[in-house]
Amino acid sequence: MPVHNPEIAETFNKYADLLEIDGANQFRVRAYRTAGRTILDLSQNLYDMVKEGKDLSELPGIGKDLANKIIEMVRTGRLSQMEELKKTVPIELLDMMDIADLGPKRIARLHQELGISTIKELEASAREKKIRELPGYGEKIEQAILDDITRKGKARGSKERLKLSAVESATESLLSYLRKIKGVKKVTAAGSYRRRMETVGDVDILVTHTGDSDVMERFVKYEDVDRIIAKGETKSTVVLRFGLQVDLRAVSGESYGAALHYFTGSKAHNIAIRQMGVKKNLKINEYGVFKGKKRIAGKTEEEVYEQVGLPYIEPELREQRGEIEAAREGRLPRLIEIRKIRGDLHSHTNNTEGRNSIEEMAEAAQKKGYEYLAITDHSKRLSMTHGLDEKRLEEQIEEIDRLNRKLKDFTLLKGIEVDILEDGSLDLNNSVLKKLDLLVCSVHHKFNLSQKKQTERIIRAIESSPVFTILGHPTGRIIGEREPYDVNMEQLMKVARDRNCALELNAQPERLDLNDIYCKMAKDMGVMIVISTDAHSTAGLDLMRFGIYQARRGWLESNNVLNSRNGKELQELLKK
């Protein structure tokens, strides 16, 4: 069974959590976490690398020991050490890691002193007011735990959605497996996966094939399949090992375009198109476009749109948010493409929580064909990341100046991801900030302020910043984990526009804020957007594609995106 990078990363992360609960040495714990992070950022497929006999220990943060563990997981699907550790530390304890205010140390204590191993037991003890008695807990934490259990219980009731990044490699592997089956012609993923939504409920795959191919048989026998839900001549459904459901539909060549249109969705977009057909006396469904009983179109998606008098609409736009009107009036956006990106404006180095040196980051960015990279490490308030104080930032500035003298056709921009403090002031003195090319200003704490306070806080930061400002991950949400903080986005965007401040679309697949709706709003209001990876390693620079997907869903064109400008244009703009 191919094991995919996200599963290996997750195993390492779980192992690190379990070790920490067990009270293991911090260095060991951190080694596994770092490895988990490296693997998530990796562009190569570990499964393939192992099969090809590549040396994994050449990957950053992966030594011989971890390399062997990856090989074991690829070969057996398991990590034997994890199985060992599970014998002494119950794995259910990890479920508690999701509960607000609980981390490994607190969980260990709950386990040792109250014998709690599951969320159910945790809830019971909280109701019996036993948790507040433990040293370092108290009533407030007990209540927060209870509230969070109740809230998450509700959330679990709804069907779980997986992040696009988590299903990407498994889906692409499955698609290439299907393409190799004899008699199979076209293979395409439709649904939310094709529309590049940040999360997907399930993956919908369409195939066309010669009548005698055994594609359905081979599909349900794919090595990643955990469960078969349905198997038929034209439709089958399976669940893959890590919980991803996949629908496969076989359609005829003459219906292919109509089926692709139908199953790409969104449902709301489909319904609107179908109604346009009704007005023209046409019936549109997944089999084609019909006039009476006669099929008049359906081989391609373009044909379907043509029948209702529209040009082709890109999948990312099909959300019934004005794309049909725009198509009718000939003002569809020319969506940004990844090849338009000329540089990255948010990255970390091993001076704080990144893994690579400034020089290595520059080299990797240059290798991608970029003209510039902004180094934006954390500021001192984030002490657990070893954030920079004024003195260390000065040193970094000097180092970058030195490197820039060596670099050809490439510029390192001097920046910092500076914390916005609770009162809206910045974490470092203006005297040093002034020496930078740009700031990424970010909120990393005090997420629960009222909307008014949070908005004022951020506006103050924008207004007091001494150089060009990018507002980093502007809503702070982490998909499936942390809600966005409460800000008045319209007000924020007005200030950003008037002050020449750009808003970041953070390409980390669990962030992706601005989301699609806010991207479109920014575009409509004339606010500049920056798409940045927030890379923590050289491999992290490859996450740019997720930002591009979101940008396209948000109607962005290259002229809305600051880092589609070349180095010279950008430098001029930064100076203004």
Question: Would you tell me which residues interact with ligand DGT (CB under 6 A)?
Answer: 191-192, 197, 200-202, 204, 262-263, 265-267, 270-271
C-alpha to C-alpha distance for 158 and 390, rounded to whole angstroms: 47
Stretch that binds Ca ion, among 88-96, 245-253, 524-532, 541-549 (CB under 5 A): 245-253
For Zn ion, the closer of residues 34 and 442 by Cβ is: 442
CB of 399 to Ca ion, least distance (A): 48
Pick from Ca ion, ligand DGT, Zn ion, none: which does 410 bind, CB < 5 to 8 A by kind?
A: none
Task: Identify whether 514 is preceded by a cis peptide bond (ω within 30 of 0).
Answer: yes
For Ca ion, the closer of residues 100 and 271 by Cβ is: 271
- Hey, what are 339's tokens? 């090849």
The count of chain residues that interact with Zn ion, using the rule CB under 5 A, is 1
Stretch that binds Zn ion, among 35-43, 438-446, 453-461, 476-484 (CB under 5 A): 438-446
Place of tokens 């994994």: 56
Using rule CB under 5 A, residue 202 touches Ca ion: yes
Pick from ligand DGT, Zn ion, Ca ion, none: which does 442 bind, CB < 5 to 8 A by kind?
A: Zn ion
Using rule CB under 5 A, residue 513 touches Ca ion: no
- Coil, strand, or helix at residue 453? helix
Task: Decide: 472 and 492 in contact? Cβ < 8 Å.
Answer: no
What is the number of helices (H) and of strands (E) in the chain? 23, 17
Task: Decide: 246 and 205 in contact? Cβ < 8 Å.
Answer: yes
Task: Decide: 530 and 547 in contact? Cβ < 8 Å.
Answer: no
Using rule CB under 5 A, residue 198 touches Ca ion: no
Using rule CB under 5 A, residue 191 touches Ca ion: yes
Using rule CB under 5 A, residue 442 touches Zn ion: yes
Task: Decide: 198 and 318 in contact? Cβ < 8 Å.
Answer: no
Pick from Zn ion, ligand DGT, Ca ion, none: which does 262 bind, CB < 5 to 8 A by kind?
A: ligand DGT
C-alpha to C-alpha distance for 167 and 150, rounded to whole angstroms: 28
Stretch that binds Zn ion, among 84-92, 169-177, 323-331, 440-448 (CB under 5 A): 440-448
C-alpha to C-alpha distance for 484 and 218, rounded to whole angstroms: 43
If residue 406 lies in a helix (H) or strand (E), which one and from where to where? Answer: helix 390-406
Which residue in the set 247, 371, 419, 427 belongs to the binding site for Ca ion (CB under 5 A)? 247
Torsion sign across C-alpha atoms 482, 484, 486, 492: positive
Using rule CB under 5 A, residue 475 touches Zn ion: no
For Zn ion, the closer of residues 381 and 453 by Cβ is: 381
Using rule CB under 5 A, residue 347 touches Zn ion: no
Spell out the residues 6+ positions from residue 81 whose beta carbon is closer than 8 angstroms to its own: 15, 69
Binding residues for Zn ion (CB under 5 A): 442
Could you list the residues that contact Ca ion (CB under 5 A)? 191-192, 202, 204, 247
